[in-house]
Structure 1
Amino acid sequence: MSSPRLYPIFAELSARPVLVVGGGAVAQRKVAALLEAGADVRIGAPVLNCELAQWVDAGRVRWIEGRFAPEWLDDVWLAIAATSDAAANAAVAAAGLARRVFVNVVDDAALSSFQVPAIVDRSPLVVAISSGGAAPILARRVREKLETLLDPSLASLARLAERWRGRIRGRLADLGRRRRFLERVFDGPIADLVRSGRDDAADAALGAALDRAAAQALPRGSVVLVGAGPGDPGLLTLKGLRALNEADVILHDRLVSRDVLALARRDATFVEVAKEAGNHRTTQDGIHALMLEHAQAGRRVVRLKGGDSFIFGRGGEELEFLRSHGIAYEVVPGITAALACAAYAGIPLTHRDHAQSVRLVTAHCKDSLDTLDWRALAAERQTLAVYMGVAGLEAFGARLIAHGRAGSTPAALVENGSRREQRVVIGRLDDIARLASEHAVRSPALLLVGEVAALGARLHWYGAPPLQTPTSYAKAA
């Protein structure tokens, strides 16, 4: 059974009653963390260790002597069960469930209604890491890595932002303008002053920068065309990631994976502009209109496309439109499907023995088939990477064969290339349409045609092995 997906939350417990059940070392650690948060801590246990007893004598915590009783939970905000008695811990969890009080049972995720995360403390900046109780050691390992990555000066930088928050909001009412100002504060020379311990100089520099920013005109909007790659978020470029985290509005294709979208700013406006073969819910003119509307309103827009904007992504048309309307733009390339799908299927697009060239082809419908140079496409010793609807497979293969390409030529279909659900089907050109139907291959899928396709039978490395491997071209495989 997999661990439940948790909703992350930071609880404000100052002066609020919290119960810790247990009187040993584990309970002591939990009490110490709660005291740092300012909680009104009660400890319930028959006996206490020396440290806890001293905290009781000093008036830092209140002791409820005895064995757990459900009424201990009547007025608390949350509770932690930290005893060595499994039955007592289960009783605390059951009583909390009945009273709708969140309970953490130490080292027992199944009984817990909340988890205590591993934290990296740069207060007031705090980073919490949780595995939902599935792998607490892994969460601690992640914490160790973050401790080395996050400079201790972040605490001072966060306090600087806290001191100036009201004044910044008052001078820069526009949210996007305010966000861009703070990004410059956190990444520029003001942050350098904080890191060097020059807090007074940082305050003075921030005040001067705020005066300049408030006097400036509202910034003009812009559009960044970002290639999202085929789906694996690890294939998104660093520049693409930066653009997603700076965007006010993200216009994304249907095929952009959820994992990639999860990397973007959570408070950005996401607009799906669904476009796929036979289902254009948003027309290209509609996409142009959305880019123009948001950019003219001063927003930073990311036009996020699967693969690469300039490989069958109509990026050129969008740039022409933006230029004609005086909108500033930038292009961040992405890894196109041909490169990623072939690589994740273990199929080299070029090979000294089999293919000295690659052709990228789109063939979504009959009209696009009629415009292709079939004689050139049918030539041997080249690889065809075909971006197409699966429904056109039979017609595409038939035309290639009619113009001289052998029916026995290896062919591969890569469905959901680079994603966890990737599937690869390998067969012959004259049989690939039947195999696609037999295995219910669906879009997005890329067709690879050429001798190199056979190599996927033994060079595959990602996901499950191919669903069907060739038998009539052992030389290539």
Structure 2
Amino acid sequence: MARLDTFPVSFKVAGRAILIVGGDEEALAKARLAVKTSAEVRVFAHAFEADFAGLGVNLFARATQLSDFDNAALVFIADHGPEGERARAFAKAAGVPINEVDVPENCDFYTPAIIDRAPISIAISSEGAAPVLARLVRARIEAVLSPRLGAIARLAGAMREKVAAALTDGVARRRYYEALVTSPAVEAAVDAGRGEAEAERLLGAHADAEAEGGAGVVWLIGAGPGAEDLLTLRAQRRLQEADVIVHDQLVPSAVIEMGRRDAERISVGKAKGHHSFSQAQINTLIVRLAREGKKVARLKSGDPMVFGRAGEEIAALRKAGIAYSVVPGVTSALAAAADTATPVTLRKVSSGVVFATAHGADNAELAHWASLAQSGLTLGLYMGKSIAAKVAGDLLAHGLSATTPVGIVVNAGRADKVLYSGTVGAMAEDTIDFADGPAIIFIGHAVASGDWAQAAEIAPDIKRIA
């Protein structure tokens, strides 16, 4: 595993000075960054080519002196000539950390891409290797953070004494602050100038809950098909709030690790032919955890409401009087459609799509599927890899044309996905050497409109194409 060559910290500069050596545009860029802090910013140069007006910095039209480095916190050197070398020597003598612009080997520290929501700050650093990438990452994070984040952070700080007095338990206090900083009602109240009143109202509700012994909750969360960047923002927030993460076997570790570090992880791995936990045991587990006052993230592959047995868990929670909510996820069939640009509904071709599980399908269901496919609907079959040939043969026996297009995606939504294309007749020949992993089988004429790895036409025999 690659290790960081720098240790990320927030450096205290209050009451101290930040020195900038140079008068060009590089120096100006560092000055604009430095004035975001409360430090005194001093700029040294014989000539100021850039316009520093309006920044509130102190300009010194001379070379640096050793005494200038007294009480300096940081030094930025944008002059790469003799004056820069002089300043670097003084900084070394004074023990002040140096950043020489675009000269990583002369840097004691690197300037990260910074997201400023004072008092909240987020820094993204590439250790000087890829500053453009760091800025792109910053832009993505900026897009999901509320501009009111800083105001909410200041509100949280102002509530510390009241919270300490009202909530005696550390877990209860943490839950209050989590609710405070994620509540849309608090954000709206901050906008309207009523932030403190809403924060106090929320505190009262949490104090009442603590007095009653604490109320647990279960969130049934869809983890999507496996790629962590397909997880929803709501799912990420719930994982960060959860005390316990109860997860299925197919949920990748990268998604589970999005939870809090101190959250308990419980695997209830259920795979074909091996169930470490029965469904009844899982139901009992999540009810027990919630009754203990814990916030439970029940993390399921795909979408909880699509072949995720969420209905049984919801019934158990309702019976026990446990609060719950559902966080949707990208179900595997939709990920497979996206992987192959397959329009499962297509005007004048397919007026609808049916998702079904191939395992356990009886004769009546197969006859119904054949009728639906003949009428133009697209079938999306889950859990049918081991019986694909049998299903295809049964569909043929119920009248489905052997030339009906088929597309199969194994490990949909993941980097290791594998695609197959062909016809129902070819699939019935049982010649597919399937890759490991769950599969989605699409059947219907809309499949032919998908992007099946440069196949100009549906191949006469099904084959692996990617």
Identity %: 32
Give 1:221 shift. 0.9
Q: Which moved more, 1:120-129 or 1:10-19?
A: 10-19
Distance (Å, rounded) in 1 between the aligned partners of 2:61 and 2:345: 74
Partner of 1:134: 130
- Cα 1:143–1:334 change in 2 (3 A) is closer
Q: How far apart, CA to CA, are the structure 2 residues paired with 1:147 and 1:53? A: 40
Distance in 1, Cα, partners of 2:102 & 2:403: 59
**1:428 aligns to what?**
423
Aligned partner (choices 98, 112, 126) of residue 117 of structure 1? 112
Asked whether the equivalents of residues 422 and 460 of structure 2 are also in contact (C-alpha less than 8 Å), the reply is no
Q: Distance in 1 between matches of 2:314 and 2:363?
A: 25
The residue that corresponds to 1:146 in the other structure is: 142
In the alignment, the residues of structure 1 paired with residue 16 and residue 249 of structure 2 have an alpha-carbon distance, to the nearest angstrom, of 48
Residue 169 of structure 2 corresponds to residue 174 of structure 1 = yes
Q: Structure 1 residues 168 and 271, CA, compared in 2 at 3 Å: closer, same or farther?
A: same
Matched, 1:375 2:363: no
CA deviation profile, 1:380-432 (whole Å, cap 9, x unmatched): 33432111253333333333334443443321111232334443221123434
Give deviations 1:62-83, integer Å, cap 9, x for gaps.
49xxxxxxxxxxxx99997766
Matched, 1:84 2:92: no
388-397 or 287-296: bigger deviation: 388-397
Would the alpha carbon gap of residues 411 and 234 (structure 1) be closer, same or farther in structure 2, given more than 3 Å must change? same
**Alignment correspondent of 2:458:** 470
Matches within 5 A, 1:56-455: 61-62=69-70, 84=80, 106-107=101-102, 115-130=110-125, 133-136=129-132, 139=135, 142-143=138-139, 146=142, 150-151=146-147, 154-186=149-181, 187=183, 195=191, 206=199, 210=203, 213-215=206-208, 216-231=211-226, 236=231, 240-257=235-252, 261=256, 268-351=263-346, 353-356=348-351, 358-364=353-359, 368=360, 373-379=365-371, 380-381=374-375, 382-388=377-383, 390-432=385-427, 436-437=432-433, 440-455=434-449
- Cα 1:344–1:407 change in 2 (3 A) is same
Partner of 1:70: none
Counterpart residue type for residue 120 of structure 1: I
CA distance in 2, matches of 1:159, 1:129: 22
Instruction: Give the letter for the 2:367 counterpart.
Output: R
Q: Distance in 1 between matches of 2:75 and 2:278?
A: 54
Q: Are the structure 2 counterparts of residues 207 and 351 from structure 1 closer, same or farther at C-alpha, using a change threshold of 3 Å?
A: closer
Q: Take 2:20 and 2:347, find their aligned partners in 1: how far apart are those partners?
A: 70
Does the 8 Å contact 1:13/1:38 carry over to 2? Answer: no
Note the C-alpha offset of 1:130. Answer: 4.0
Q: CA deviation at 1:139?
A: 0.7
Q: Which runs of 5+ in 1 are unaligned?
A: 64-75
Structure 1, 141-150 or 122-131: larger mean CA deviation: 141-150
Counterpart of 1:84 in structure 2: which amino acid? H
Mapped contact 1:229–1:306 kept (Cα < 8 A): yes
The aligned length equals 432
Inter-partner Cα distance in structure 2 for 1:428 and 1:189: 54
Q: Is the 8 A contact 1:20 1:82 kept in 2?
A: no
CA drift at 1:345? 1.7
Whether the 8 Å contact between 1:16 and 1:77 is mirrored in structure 2 is no
**2:333 partner letter:** A
C-alpha change, 1:385 and 1:9, in structure 2 (3 Å) is: same
Q: Which amino acid aligns with 1:289?
A: T
SS for the counterpart of 1:339 is helix
Q: Secondary structure at the match of 2:159?
A: helix
- Residue matched to 2:464: none
Q: Which amino acid aligns with 2:369?
A: L
Query: CA 1:343 to 1:182, structure 2 compared with 1: closer, same or farther past 3 Å?
Result: same
**Mapped contact 2:112–2:134 kept (Cα < 8 A):** no
Q: Distance in 1 between matches of 2:17 and 2:392?
A: 70
Q: Distance in 2 between matches of 1:110 and 1:257?
A: 38
Comparing 298-307 with 252-261, which one deviates more in the overlay? 252-261
Report if the CA contact (8 A) 2:20-2:30 is conserved.
no
What SS does the aligned partner of 1:373 have?
A: helix
Secondary structure of the 2:316 match is helix
Change (3 A) 1:442 1:469: farther
C-alpha distance 322-467 of structure 1, shift in aligned 2 (>3 A):
farther
**For the structure 1 residues 18 and 423, does the alpha-carbon distance in structure 2 shift closer, same or farther, using more than 3 Å as the test?**
farther
Q: Distance in 2 between matches of 1:468 and 1:4?
A: 46
TM-score by length of 2: 0.71
Give the Cα–Cα distance (whole angstroms) in 2 for the partners of residues 375 and 140 of structure 1. Answer: 53
On the 8 A contact 2:18/2:34 being kept in 1, the answer is: no
Aligned to 1:71: none
Q: Structure 2: how far apart are the matches of 1:325 and 1:162?
A: 37
With over 3 angstroms needed to count, the CA separation of the structure-2 counterparts of 1:360 and 1:207, relative to structure 1, is: closer
Write the distance in 2 (CA, Å) between the matches of 1:374 and 1:5: 56
In structure 2, the CA distance between the partners of 1:116 and 1:394, relative to structure 1 (3 Å rule), is same
TM-superposed deviation, 1:318? 1.2
Whether the aligned pair in 1 keeps the contact of 2:406 and 2:442 (CA below 8 Å) is yes
Which 5+ residue runs of structure 2 have no aligned equivalent?
49-58, 462-466
* Cα deviation, residue 373, structure 1: 3.2
